[in-house]
């Protein structure tokens, strides 16, 4: 049987184009592509995205009234089997770019719960999310708040938070290069995600 290649969307949430989370995400993407996935990349800092204005026009039909790049991102994200999201920790939360996107997806939550009232199409299989993050400090609770909101975000998308890659002690843009094992983790996670989406285990040994 011929199977379609898995479709993954990868979102760069850092304002730093070539920082730690961008480098990690690129490895994950490379791993996924090596395993046969089709990956669409989205760089949030290049998009025009307004914050949610809480006008709740989405209560009518579930559509967000603010017309900007959100609709393009939403349609891609809702059509993919796996979502990779990478964001640095800014004040114990995701970056502002990432949070703006998360909040705009509230229109999808509103459609599901208030407009369709749970009668929308049920997905037979939950889709899968990979979250990559980095912070400069070493605190035990560094990722706690972020994980709570990211898990809930993935749930809004009918996705499970399938895997997290969370790294402490990365401050300057190139710090992750001192940890090739982190980059290996990311490549392997990308490969495994592609494999999980096709129900196959990855063949390549890293």
The only residue of 6, 8, 11, 20 in contact with ligand FMN, by rule CB under 6 A: 20
Beta strand extents in the chain (DSSP E only): 7-12, 38-43, 82-88, 127-134, 159-167
CB of 181 to ligand FMN, least distance (A): 16
CB of 14 to ligand FMN, least distance (A): 4
**Residue 161: φ, ψ to 5°:** -75, 90
CB of 168 to ligand FMN, least distance (A): 7
25 is an interface residue for ligand FMN by CB under 6 A:
no
Residue number with the smallest Cβ distance to ligand FMN: 19
User: In whole angstroms, what is the distance from residue 77 CA to residue 64 CA?
Assistant: 15
Greatest CA separation for the chain: 50
The only residue of 6, 9, 11, 21 in contact with ligand FMN, by rule CB under 6 A: 21
DSSP string, 79-122: H-SEEEEEEE-BTTB--HHHHHHHHHTHHHHHIIIIISTT-SPP
146 is an interface residue for ligand FMN by CB under 6 A:
no
204 is an interface residue for ligand FMN by CB under 6 A:
no
Tell me which residues touch ligand FMN (CB under 6 A): 14, 16, 19-22, 88-92, 134-137, 142, 170-171, 173
């Amino acid at each position: 049987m011929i199977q379609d290649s898995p479709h993954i969307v990868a979102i760069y949430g850092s304002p730093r184009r070539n920082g730690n989370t961008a480098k990690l995400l690129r490895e994950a993407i490379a791993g996924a592509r090596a395993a046969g996935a089709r990956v669409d990349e989205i760089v949030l800092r290049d998009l025009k995205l307004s914050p949610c204005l809480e006008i709740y026009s989405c209560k009518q039909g579930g559509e967000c009234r603010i017309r900007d790049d959100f609709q393009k991102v939403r349609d891609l994200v809702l059509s993919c089997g796996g979502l990779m999201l990478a964001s640095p920790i800014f004040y114990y939360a995701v970056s502002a770019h990432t949070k703006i996107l998360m909040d705009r997806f509230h229109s999808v939550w509103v459609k599901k719960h208030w407009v369709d009232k749970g009668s929308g199409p049920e997905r037979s299989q939950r889709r899968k999310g990979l979250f990559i993050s980095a912070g400069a400090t070493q605190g035990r609770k560094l990722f706690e708040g972020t994980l709570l909101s990211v898990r809930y975000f993935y749930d809004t998308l009918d996705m499970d938070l399938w895997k997290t890659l969370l790294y402490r002690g990365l401050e300057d843009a190139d710090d992750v290069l001192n940890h090739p094992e982190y980059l290996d983790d990311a490549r392997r996670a990308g490969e495994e995600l592609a494999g999980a989406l096709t129900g196959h285990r990855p063949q390549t040994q890293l």
